[in-house]
Structure 1
């Protein structure tokens, strides 16, 4: 090979090396930019059942977790949670709104004028959800009714057929949030905005599930729970990770972390649900 050709090839390799360095550098800069600019992360919570998946915003998922948790606390079947979730999705999009048709308010758009309670009571998601279940359980054989029929007998809606539109989504979230499926609810979230408070987590857990055997160790809340109850609590914690500044959840040989945003095999096996709260090092500056 003559010297002229050799120099041309050498220059070509140099140009390629520079271009490759620029590409790699650009990728690294982009990754760092995404990590530092968390506002670009689209926050969402996903429930997966078989090949199907359904999404809610974190605030919606938190309300869904409360509705399902209260069903577990009351000893109701998962079908009750499915009916309640389908109803709340249709009525309020799972948001605790203070307005609606005529005097309707809250998650279920219940009306004070229809003897559901005072407006301020119906704006309490716990009161509103229990009021819904109080009527539902009085319906004979509601577990075997179509969602549309069961929801309509509770709500007396002008558009009863609309409840059926949300049945598959409600079933997916009910399955995860009542603990019938494992590692089935995942949330993609930005970095925490504050350090987690163990007492706040304990208070919210008690509201959703009633009395539990719990302990606090540093920044971790541990709950003694097995089977479907354990997974209901684990999924509840993921659904509330944004609101309660939760960094990670571990149960049944699986672990979820806010950083990885997925369930993976845990390093240890435990019959407890371990909820790890965000510390100063986790908080977005």
Structure 2
């Protein structure tokens, strides 16, 4: 038996051992996909969590999905939806999801590094643009950002629209995340607090490792898919709403018995 074959067999044996220990998915590439119509786009869990915040703030403010599309296309171009703490040669003091600059009046560095603040500041500027909804996404984004590369926003219009449609609840069950098994127990109270921070008070009732919310319609789907987007960070293992359920272990949405206008988010409850 050659050395190469021995090495391959050793790797396979190691992966089998990991799987038996419940750690076989350590090599799984985590990702989230928004599928709207015939188009599908993929982001990392961290990017998707930031996208869900951006879309959720639009929902909270009563803004149309178009506003979220513009904001998401902008953030994808400016930071790849990462809350980065550095700028570039064109804007060395640029920070955060939208690469906003303290020197340009966007706020302090500390404020801009808060995704919630940065998103609110972006929408504050966007809604001051007359008829922004009728503008091409790249033009609306440029009027807010005043970028040195205004055409670049157009590159991200399709994925911005797809994630906006899913995360504002306009496309039900359109977001799926492929994730590793939870590494620790979750906290339903913390999930409730995080959801309230984005959407405003939702009146969620934590019950053990479950959070139950009375929501319906588009808002219900926005919160449900926000929960899927936050499943990795919040150790969420299932989300059920409107006759469908997302299971972390399986991925995808499947039919399930659910109470009308009731959203249930379940977090991991691991021993020890």
Give the TM-score normalised by structure 1: 0.86
Q: Which residues in structure 2 correspond to 1:2-13 (within 5 Å)? A: none
- For the pair 1:210 / 2:200, whether they are aligned, the reply is yes
Higher radius of gyration, 1 or 2: 1
Deviation of 1:174 after TM superposition, in Å, equals 0.3
Unpaired stretches in structure 2, ≥5 consecutive residues:
1-12
Higher helix residue share = 1
2:80 corresponds to which of 93, 111, 125:
93
* Alpha-carbon distance in 1 for matches of 2:86, 2:25: 32
- Name the counterpart of 1:190: 180
- Name the counterpart of 1:109: 99
Deviation of 1:246 after TM superposition, in Å, equals 0.3
Deviation of 1:114 after TM superposition, in Å, equals 0.4
Unpaired stretches in structure 1, ≥5 consecutive residues:
1-25
* Alpha-carbon distance in 1 for matches of 2:184, 2:220: 26
Deviation of 1:267 after TM superposition, in Å, equals 2.7
1:49 corresponds to which of 10, 14, 36:
36
* Alpha-carbon distance in 2 for matches of 1:34, 1:263: 27
- Name the counterpart of 1:71: 58
1:134 corresponds to which of 102, 121, 124:
124
- Name the counterpart of 1:173: 163
Give the TM-score normalised by structure 2: 0.90
- Name the counterpart of 1:7: none
* Alpha-carbon distance in 1 for matches of 2:258, 2:115: 36
Contact 2:19 2:25 in 1 (8 A): no
Task: Evaluate the alpha carbon distance shift between residue 98 and residue 32 of structure 1 in structure 2; reply closer, same or farther with a 3 A threshold.
Answer: closer
Q: Which runs of 4+ in 1 moved over 4 A?
A: 29-35
